[in-house]
Structure 1
Amino acid sequence: MINAEQRCISLLKDCKTLNNLKKIQAIATKTNLLSEPFISGKLILLSATSISDALQYACNLFLEIPSPDIFTYNTLIRGISESNLPQQSLLTYIEMRRKTILQPDSFSFAFILKAAANYKSLNGGIQLHCQSLVHGFDTHLFVRTTIVSMYAECGCINSARKAFEELSQPNVVAWNAIVTACFRCGDVKGGEVLFGKMPFKNLTSWNVMLAGYMKAGEVEPAKRIFAEMSAKDEVSWSTMIVGFSHNGRLDEAFECFRELNLSGMRPNGVSLTGVLSACAQAGAFEFGKVIHGYIEKAGFGTIVSVGNTLLDTYSRCGSVQMAHLVFDWMIKIKNIVSWTSMMASFAMHGLGKEAVQLFHDMESSGVVPDGITFVSILYACSHAGMLKEGIGFFHKMQVTYAIEPSIEHYGCMVDLYGRAGLLRKAFEFVLEMPIEPNDIIWRTLLGACSIHGDVTLAEQVKERLSELDPTNSSDHVLLSNIYAIAGKWREVVSVRRSMIDQNIKKCPGWSMIEVDKVMYSFVVGAGLNGVTKEAQEKLVEIMSRIRIEGGYIPEVGSVLHDIEEEEKENAVSLHSEKLAVAFGISRLCPGSVIRIVKNLRVCRDCHVVMKLISKVYNWKIVLRDRNRFHSFHLGQCSCQDFW
């Protein structure tokens, strides 16, 4: 007959959930097994390191154990070190040293040093390094490798190198740690040299190089390393897909994902979030739906990070309906990120009332908003013109939730006042901020000056920006456009001449459109190819038709005055978003939604053209520019001409 201890051990082997763990603890408590080191240690191990959202339960359980041994202490330290509050593990370590006669072992130092690395405490790390020396564990390979990583995380590459060089016989784990340290500290060349010196390499060694190169933006060397690898695992493929996406190499991210599937390996959660991120950046709605289907079929829908990324992808591809569908689908796994992402989705689409209602629903559900949540709700209020509500949320954040405003919150408030036309109030708000305003704050105010045509304030703001970021091309272009709309052509010429003298080049505008799951790019001033020629020919037809049927008159106010009217019209007629929409009408089936992503703010003329096309051609157009979404339908835009 199985006794209570054997029963507990058997149940612990298959325990996967906190609910089951609580039942096993109840059995252990009832049968007086909680005082048994093996049983109590196993309970702590599972709750602290293996079962999600069970760390607090592990801490509470730890308090019920009468005489925890060194294994139990180490397990709790390890669990806390990998949590969102790694510094708390130091308190557990201190308690062990003060309240018991237990002596730390090599695992104690490895785990507590990991905690110091995770919260980047150099002073704490140095003290722990010294303590490991006192206890004779500093030469222990496991501990010394963690010391290398700790110094790297704290940005001390020289100390990391010294710790590594003192190892008499470093193994491959130690070599991988020092190569990682170089990349962590931005020493790409040092990482390359050490990688070349490694006497032996494993698959992790190659993956370290891939991750290091991609994080440093060195895409071509990463591609070379990837090609040289004789064996690749899930980490290798995921690193490449995420790296391509992170570095804006979206087509390569899509291609790498296709190659992963052809290789016979199964995508994991990381590779899926990587390719979804690429879909979000490119506005690849159809490809995103394909990935969504794979996620549901392969059973990845229970991974909260995948669900959140899918929600964000649909949102940034212009389908707030699909984003909300995913949000509802995540009912059992949604977290604060899910709520905030859905709120941001409403905000980007100008749905301020919906965002506010969602905020209240979140509060009612018991989820406590954080600083990022308030950025999203303030952004929503700003883009929906909800001045009173925005001011209320800014106040609530500080009074109700004791959240100290960050530069992002102040930026939202400047945008809120600026879009509402309260430019002087916005200017005074910036001057009264308790933290120093950065270039983004001033640029937000400059954008508001552009919307409302306040030349005088724009000049004052531009002076501040010239001190903080004198070579930013968008600031010069924006001021030039403000002057042009006001008819101050001499000032326009002066700004443009200043740009030439300082060799400041305007960022080229580009737009992307997805047709049959393939992304097409249109860049202002790019050479003519078959796709661009097709788009231009279709655009000529479109512009002619909206003139006749829609009464289109080109908005050329911001184009230089010293060229003929026909040249002005040509200057605005070939903007990348116009070419993209023309290509969409040429290739897509009637009734489809044209989805375009643009890297800059849409100009007034293009905005007018999109409204007329949606009316004359009866197409629905969803355009994501640098600031927000514009949904054009039957001659109207979702932004209500407020952007």
Structure 2
Amino acid sequence: MASFSTAQPLSLPRHPTLSNPNQPTANNERSRHTLSLIDKCSEIRILKQIHAQMIRTGLFNDPFSASKIFSIAALSPFASLDYARKVFDQIPQPNSFSWNTLIRAYASGPDPARSIRVFLDMLSESHCHPNKYTFPFLIKAAAEVSSLSLAQSLHAMAVKSAVGFDVFVANSLIHCYFSCGDLDSACKVFTTIQDKDVVSWNSMITGFVQRGSPDKALELFKKMETEDAVIKASHVTMVGVLSACAKLRNLEFGREVCAYIVEKRVNTNLTLANAMLDMYTKCGSIEEAKTLFDSMEVKDNVTWTTMLDGYAILEDYEAARDVLNAMPKKDIVAWNALISAYEQNGKPNEALSVFHELQLQKNIKLNQITLVSTLSACAQVGALELGRWIHSYIKKNGIRLNFYVTSALIHMYSKCGDLEKARDVFSSVEKRDVFVWSAMIGGLAMHGCGNEAVDMFFRMEEANVKPNGVTFTNVFCGCSHSGLVDEAESLFKEMESSYGIVPEEKHYACIVDVLGRSGYLEKAVKFIEAMPIPPSASVWGALLGACKIHANLSLAETACTRLLELEPRNDGAHVLLSNIYAKSGKWESVSELRKHMRVTGLKKEPGCSSIEIDGTIHEFLSGDNAHPMSERVYGKLHEVMERLKSNGYEPEMSQVLQIIEEEEMKEQSLKLHSEKLAICYGLISTEAPKTIRVIKNLRVCGDCHSVAKLISQIYDREIIVRDRYRFHHFRNGQCSCNDFW
């Protein structure tokens, strides 16, 4: 939830103020004056001067005075941990207050684990014992490093020290267990608290929300209202509850919560107002969100970005853009929100346009979220040059390759046709999670490297990384494009029994595709009949595609019928069946199918191919004349086709969907396919030996596949075509798919 980013303490339990039980008072006027200076100190330089004065006068030998200057050095807004540790080491016999202060400072610092080492020093080097002020900060450190074993050990020590049931210690444990993902232990601790305070309830509610159980958070809030009349909900409570409503898209209860806030006069600070706004936008009530937004006297960047997100969710990009333009101070979060909205909703070109605009902004630094979203957009449109620039930017600025950035780079290079670079990125990182492995397996699969994809799967297993559903989808695709039937069947059988992953629709569709592409059509049908779930459109689509490859007309008609029962407006199914009819010479059936499409208003998705030249994406539709260089493109196309004919090329007329009587017109229709235009533009825009990379939105047709093979041989150019399903690497008259696609 966006509003949580400005209110990190909301999820943390409240701690008591540290107290020093032994506070000797200074007896002379000079001591009182020095101590008053400590209270007024506002920078570390002055504190060091006071420290020096205390050493010269002997005041530092007073335990109370020493602990006072130490606590300022450790916990003040201008604190310095290194200096504080030096002050601590000068204290002859630090008391419990000083030890707890040092533990607290380290627990809140950049290296929380150091607080544990201080605690161990306290146990071994002093006569002080841990108390109820010690454990909350140690437990906080365990939460920061997400160490469940450490949390359990501290919990046991707290119980043995007779403070395990203290409300502050218990609240810390609840937060820690949630941070470590142990919800059961958090719930058990909650039930042991005799006198729960509002923080106890808040820690549970917020923990459930952050750990993906928003329904339990709402149940707990209702229980709090009915069972604990003494506890009054705070703005922290309401933020957690509203966040749960947002995650559940429960607008009705969200409205009740907003009314509750007014009725109970809950302090509505900016964080809570932003949470209300976020709930309205996530639940799709943009009008209520706009009303609240307009009424807010104080707004921060979270407010503006939440509103921008709300419009983006509803795909009202013009309104989202207006919000961005109206922002008093545009930060990277707002830019990321718009880029991500475009990218995730299938508008990669618009996402890249916003990114290019962002590049012109001064004093805004790109972050990992920016890069991941933009790399994903690059992958969608094949913008390899921009993807390479982003990779260089990452290296130049020393940006850490976390799992998300690494996966995005591998995905971008793979989908833009540079598999070797994807391999380089994968090899360059030492730590890899399931998403990094899956991205590499997917890249190998789409490029037809099925055996390598399977080997990578087992390497992943050896690395003790557990696969997920995406991993299996990717490796099955690799098997499909390489005819690895035995490997796919073996892995499918082990999915649930060995890996605990229940097969989903997409996995069944993959296996049907593996069997069908390899010619085992009867086996594929039996597999479908034995499925424990109803076959989806993708399952029947996989079978229909296999029927086209193997020219099985009767089974194709059955598969198409079943597919259209589920998706009557599926234009791809009509086109596939029409192509099968055409390949079989059944032009009357083609005519009837085309008539049906006209009557029902169903139109074939137009073929569109794109090619990137000098960082600019050029798009071509079939028969396109819109490109400024179309005259030269068609001139090159004519030259290419004549040269191919002299080398034995004959057009594949079965690829013509329309009923065209004249052979010359059929040939002309084939010539105008978008991938041919894009390849010709690549020939006139680049010099050999530069690779020509083309992205097509549909499956490449057989005729264009044959033409690309011949061009690669006659013009001595490597051509890489990415269609809807896979990559085709054309070299020396051959394709990497071995005509198996």
Match of residue 681, structure 2, among 563, 583, 605: 583
What is the CA distance between 1:190 and its match in structure 2? 3.8
Gaps in structure 2 of 5+ consecutive residues: 1-89
User: Letter of the aligned partner of 1:629 in structure 2?
Assistant: F
What is the CA distance between 1:290 and its match in structure 2? 0.8
Distance 2:119 2:608 in 1: 60
User: Letter of the aligned partner of 2:300 in structure 1?
Assistant: N
- Secondary structure of 2:629's aligned partner: helix
Aligned to 2:239: 145
User: Letter of the aligned partner of 2:227 in structure 1?
Assistant: V
User: Letter of the aligned partner of 1:585 in structure 2?
Assistant: L
Aligned to 1:300: 399
Aligned to 1:553: 650
What is the CA distance between 1:5 and its match in structure 2? 4.9
Aligned to 2:713: 615
Q: Deviations over 1:220-254 (max 9, x none)?
A: 21112111222111201111222222233333323
Match of residue 203, structure 1, among 273, 291, 301: 301
Match of residue 227, structure 2, among 108, 115, 134: 134
Q: Deviations over 1:394-428 (max 9, x none)?
A: 12223322322122221111111111111121112
Aligned to 2:336: 238
Change (3 A) 1:146 1:17: closer
What is the CA distance between 1:106 and its match in structure 2? 3.6
What is the CA distance between 1:100 and its match in structure 2? 3.6
Q: How does 1:200-279 map to 2 (within 5 A)?
A: 200-264=298-362, 265-279=364-378
1:285 lines up with 2:384 in the alignment: yes
Distance 2:662 2:152 in 1: 75
What is the CA distance between 1:534 and its match in structure 2? 3.2
Aligned to 1:344: 442
Contact 2:251 2:280 in 1 (8 A): yes
Match of residue 16, structure 1, among 92, 104, 111: 111
- Secondary structure of 2:653's aligned partner: coil
1:389 lines up with 2:487 in the alignment: yes
Change (3 A) 1:138 1:217: farther
- Secondary structure of 2:499's aligned partner: coil
User: Letter of the aligned partner of 2:691 in structure 1?
Assistant: V
Aligned to 2:35: none
What is the CA distance between 1:120 and its match in structure 2? 4.8
Fraction of identical pairs, as percent:
34
- Secondary structure of 1:530's aligned partner: coil
Aligned to 1:103: 196
Aligned to 2:254: 160
User: Letter of the aligned partner of 2:596 in structure 1?
Assistant: S
User: Letter of the aligned partner of 2:111 in structure 1?
Assistant: K
Aligned to 1:311: 410
What is the CA distance between 1:156 and its match in structure 2? 1.6
Q: Deviations over 1:548-599 (max 9, x none)?
A: 2x32111121323443111111211111111111111111122111111111
Contact 2:102 2:115 in 1 (8 A): no
Aligned to 1:171: 269
Contact 1:107 1:143 in 2 (8 A): no
Contact 1:117 1:151 in 2 (8 A): no
Contact 1:145 1:164 in 2 (8 A): no
Q: Deviations over 1:447-502 (max 9, x none)?
A: 11111111111111112112211011111111111111111112111111111111
1:521 lines up with 2:619 in the alignment: yes
- Secondary structure of 1:519's aligned partner: strand
What is the CA distance between 1:110 and its match in structure 2? 5.3
Distance 2:500 2:569 in 1: 38
Distance 1:578 1:570 in 2: 12
Change (3 A) 1:79 1:418: farther
Aligned to 2:561: 463
User: Letter of the aligned partner of 1:47 in structure 2?
Assistant: A
- Secondary structure of 1:167's aligned partner: helix
Match of residue 378, structure 1, among 453, 473, 476: 476
Q: How does 1:466-481 map to 2 (within 5 A)?
A: 466-481=564-579
Contact 1:109 1:132 in 2 (8 A): no
Q: Which moved more, 1:65-74 or 1:202-211?
A: 65-74
Q: How does 1:26-65 map to 2 (within 5 A)?
A: 26-27=120-121, 30=124, 35-48=130-143, 50-51=144-145, 54=147, 57-58=150-151, 61-65=154-158
Q: TM-score, normalised by structure 2?
A: 0.80
Q: Which moved more, 1:482-491 or 1:240-249?
A: 240-249
Change (3 A) 1:29 1:619: farther
What is the CA distance between 1:330 and its match in structure 2? 1.3
- Secondary structure of 2:171's aligned partner: helix
Distance 1:322 1:98 in 2: 54
Match of residue 426, structure 1, among 516, 524, 527: 524
Contact 1:110 1:146 in 2 (8 A): no
Q: Deviations over 1:316-362 (max 9, x none)?
A: 1111111111111111x321111111111111111111112212211
Q: Which moved more, 1:387-396 or 1:94-103?
A: 94-103
Q: CA RMSD in A?
A: 2.5
Distance 1:285 1:61 in 2: 51
- Secondary structure of 1:149's aligned partner: helix
Distance 2:585 2:502 in 1: 43
What is the CA distance between 1:124 and its match in structure 2? 5.5
Aligned to 1:362: 460
User: Letter of the aligned partner of 1:463 in structure 2?
Assistant: T
Matched length: 634
User: Letter of the aligned partner of 2:651 in structure 1?
Assistant: P
- Secondary structure of 1:630's aligned partner: strand
Aligned to 1:495: 593
User: Letter of the aligned partner of 1:551 in structure 2?
Assistant: G
Change (3 A) 1:139 1:146: same
Distance 2:679 2:595 in 1: 33
Contact 2:692 2:718 in 1 (8 A): yes
- Secondary structure of 2:346's aligned partner: coil
User: Letter of the aligned partner of 2:391 in structure 1?
Assistant: H
Contact 1:622 1:631 in 2 (8 A): yes
Q: TM-score, normalised by structure 1?
A: 0.92
What is the CA distance between 1:256 and its match in structure 2? 2.4
Q: Deviations over 1:588-643 (max 9, x none)?
A: 12211111111111110111111111111111111111101111111111111111
Contact 2:177 2:185 in 1 (8 A): no
User: Letter of the aligned partner of 1:236 in structure 2?
Assistant: A
Match of residue 74, structure 1, among 146, 149, 171: 171
What is the CA distance between 1:28 and its match in structure 2? 5.7
Change (3 A) 1:100 1:176: closer
Distance 1:440 1:139 in 2: 49
User: Letter of the aligned partner of 2:618 in structure 1?
Assistant: Y
Larger radius of gyration: 2
What is the CA distance between 1:82 and its match in structure 2? 6.2
Contact 1:164 1:174 in 2 (8 A): no
User: Letter of the aligned partner of 1:274 in structure 2?
Assistant: S
Distance 2:404 2:543 in 1: 35
Q: Which moved more, 1:187-196 or 1:483-492?
A: 187-196
Gaps in structure 1 of 5+ consecutive residues: none
Change (3 A) 1:59 1:465: farther
Aligned to 1:443: 541
